[in-house]
Structure 1
Amino acid sequence: MYHIETSSKVFGGFELSCGISIPLRLAYHWIVPEGRIRRRVLLCHGITSSHQAFLPDGEAPGCADAGWGNGFIGPGKALDPGQGDMVLCINTLGSWFGSTGAGDYLGRAFPAVTMGDMALAQWQLVDRLGITTFDQVIGYSFGGYLAVEMACQRPHGLGALLHLASGFRGRADPQGVAAIESMIRMPPDERKQAVTSWRRALLERYGYVRWLQHQFGDGAAQRLDAEVAAWAATVSLEALLTLRVAAAAFDRQDAKLPLPVIAMRWDGDVLFPPSQPGEMPACQTLICRSPYGHFAPLAQPQDWTSYLVYRSGAANPIIGGLAGLCRTRER
């Protein structure tokens, strides 16, 4: 048995690295076993995703993308709350799924935030929830940046880091930033059409459309239309721009973390190809095959779930292997 807490916490003035203090609200999705906890996992979401990673059968979605982690969270899955797995996913500062972001500052400029600000905010929520340590932090794509930043800030609070289809340095993406800025300036009707087209092209590029076609055949097009429309109706382009700018400035490729780090890359990933430079020292990089490119970690969770670890007090056959793997790549 387990329960799910999907809520938010409000904090007083939170000082950003730019020196500006803002009210802080963080939305979160917390899956808590009712009995013994065998594993505590912190999950960091992608740049366009929400915190609602798990959606049980029969429940109404609170976010347009609710259940994006259902391939690896749930009864019988790699992260099984019924078997003692606790999972926390926080909507990052600056996002638009319930946390403080540009959508709260209509008509006013939202202050610049950094990945460090986002990580510090998440640690504040972790403390508020009374969680002292996680056995592992898992970050996918943009969430990989955040996972690394959280590990740099408080390495003693994490047992291991699993870094999925991501990087240790932000991607300079002036064209992507310019596209978002251009859509922000458009009239509402024109903006809606542009956002829909942009989102569809993005999902095609990332391999998600191919996965839909393989899963749903002739029904893929209708499903894609519905998903794109739902996302476009809720997105805050201003918030997305905030996250894009913060991501571009991220750089932790020279960090030396005192915990095991596994970086998993997939061939065909146009965002974070296996050949990308700048991997972290003492990091073990594993390369997987997939026809789904950047979407592969969600389409093929079996590629990485064997690297999940257990709490230090329980049987843990993998964590020692992780440490050994990481030592082989020290430089």
Structure 2
Amino acid sequence: MSPSEVVPRFIREIYRVRPDLKVTRTAIHKILFEVKATLPENDPERGYLPFYWYKYGPYSEVVESSLDSMKRQGVLREEKTETGKTLLVLNASPGDPGSVCEDGLSAVVGRIVRGIDPYRIGTFVDRIYWDYAPYEFMPRYKVDFLPGFEGCLASRLEGQRTLSQWSLCDPETPDIDRLEDALYMCEAALVEDPLFRDFNDEFVAYASGAGKAFDIARMDESIMRPVILATQAVALEIWYTFAGGVRILEGGHDDYYNGRLGRWEQEYRKTLSALAPMVSTYTGYIRESAGRIPSREPDERRKRILSSLIEGYFSI
């Protein structure tokens, strides 16, 4: 049997266990990836679930086409939330999808699906990154760094000027400091592979500009939002570029997709070539923004960092 014949059984099993489940397509991909990862290495069912890592985590073209097919057949239907999100729901008209998996597989699917909170699906996806992503850079960037922008911007409303906006998660650490620390952890975890040599150069240039952007945000909140928004916009493009490349590496895809590698590399090179001028424009904008701010004494955070560096130097 081919994956396209088997995967619909897995999807039906998800809804047999939780008939009232309402989740996004992305969540279905992650659930089935977790199923595959949980099955024993020698289980033949694993071969029916081919995945590669992409922009939103593990993705399967077979799962995607199976969802489309089941929607056309009336097994599943789409439902819009008030926020515009599209959820997949079991259609009542076809009746009970029935138990369609063997006992072992059914138990694995049931255990995973019953443990999911549909209202906190992001937590489940984050764990997928930390538990299974092939490179440390991925959870550090996608889970730790990128979401930090939303918290940073939400804590400072447009037009608001204050020097005491602190993270709700850690009241002793400014949220911009947390964002900067997360970025430097990403820089330390860059993927050292020839395919990513040019990407890494662009990332280092971006990190340097972002560090200046965070300084600007600390010194003058009147221009904090546009500077942080620009930093966030480039950060997203960096992630999309990385995601287009990581699926090419051996750890980023199952053998099922080996025939795609040539096309994927062409797409990655094209995206990477577009990233370079974007990073250059961004760093130029940050330098110009920094030049419009009067020089000030280093803040306490910078003094502590400088002090620790000096102490470390003289202790050698």
What range is the shorter-chain TM-score in? under 0.3
Q: What TM-score do the two structures reach when normalised by structure 2?
A: 0.25
Quick check: which has more Rg, 1 or 2?
2
Q: What TM-score do the two structures reach when normalised by structure 1?
A: 0.25
